[in-house]
Structure 1
Amino acid sequence: MAAKHGTNEELIKALNKDLEKEMAGIVRYLHHSFIVFGPNRGPLVQMFRTQATESMTHAIQLGEKITALGGHPTVKVEQVFEPGYQSLEDMIAEDLQAEKKQLQLYIDQLKVFGDDNLPMKLMLEQIVVDEQQHVDEMEKYLRTSNEDLMVLDGHRAR
């Protein structure tokens, strides 16, 4: 049974919501790149800024698609949580939570808007792949011990 197809108006509204979230991702990741400290600051700054750049790439894709569909891209940015001081673990946990929510939103949108629009389906699928990679990376950053190593064929990977 095919998924229910959304209207063009519903698609534009959904893509604008995505755009707001991607814009928030840019802000959040850049902010984290400014406030990370310690001996590993360089690679962490690069990681956060790479994530910000990838969010900007998604924002550009979304904005262009909204315009192509006859809509108007939003200038709104979803509110970004700013608690003041955050540990690196807190920053990454916040980013992981946001990435997981965004990933699920894109997956849900694929079910509604992907069946009858191949270019839309392919764009959303690529963004899903990117978002899943972000989730995977954030989860790796949060690992703290060997107990998190994967078990392969009954043996711990080393």
Structure 2
Amino acid sequence: MGKKEASAHGDEKIIGLLNRIMESELAGVVRYTHYSLMVFGYNRLPIISWLRGQADESLAHAHDAGELITHLGGHPSLAIGPLLETHKHDIGDILRESLAHEGLALQLYKDLLKEVEGVSVMLEEYARKMVHLEEMHQGEVNKMLRKPGEVAVFSDR
């Protein structure tokens, strides 16, 4: 395999990862929008505001991934990542589902980082930035799942 062919093969794998990221982020838009519609109770307004902000952020992340796909000469996917309707709409359930979804997104960004390290500074910096953002977001959701006064990290186990 020549150098140009190896590069094209590498780009295909990177484009594939970016498409999976884009699909996952688009699923996040749908998921967070759905969640925002299903919150009831005294604290509804600040919670739906936060959830809608997460939907907006997921859409921005999908746009970023799509721009990189076309930058590399690829075709952005029209698919959307998996959507699971658990019919559990307690805020704790929503946050636990969100934490699980964010964990999957984080892994995709880490996979991308492994693939592009030492290959493309642009893509490496993008992947690092997104890993940072996803880890910060996971931390925020984790804090939201803790009972008031608890400092220990939340764990479902």
Q: Name the counterpart of 2:130.
A: 127
**Which residue identity is paired with 1:149?**
V
Tell me the percent identity: 37
SS in 2 for 1:112: helix
Paired residues, what number? Answer: 145
- Deviation for aligned residue 1:48: 0.5
2:68 corresponds to? 65
Q: What TM-score results when the alignment is normalised by the length of structure 2?
A: 0.87
Task: Give the structure-1-normalised TM-score.
Answer: 0.86
**Residues in 2 aligned to 1:66 and 1:112: alpha-carbon distance in whole angstroms:** 15
- Partner SS state of residue 149, structure 1: coil
Cα distance, 1:83 vs structure 2: 2.1
Task: State the partner residue of 2:151.
Answer: 149
**Counterpart position of 2:32:** 29
Give 1:95-134 correspondences, 5 Å limit: 95-134=98-137
CA distance in 2 between partners of 1:34 and 1:45 (Å): 7
1:17 maps to amino acid: R
The two structures, once aligned, show a CA RMSD in angstroms of 1.5
Structure 1 residue 54 and structure 2 residue 54: aligned? no
One-letter amino acid of the counterpart of residue 71, structure 2: A
Structure 1 unaligned runs (5+)? 151-158
Shift of 1:133: 1.5
Greater shift in the superposed pair: 22-31 or 107-116: 107-116
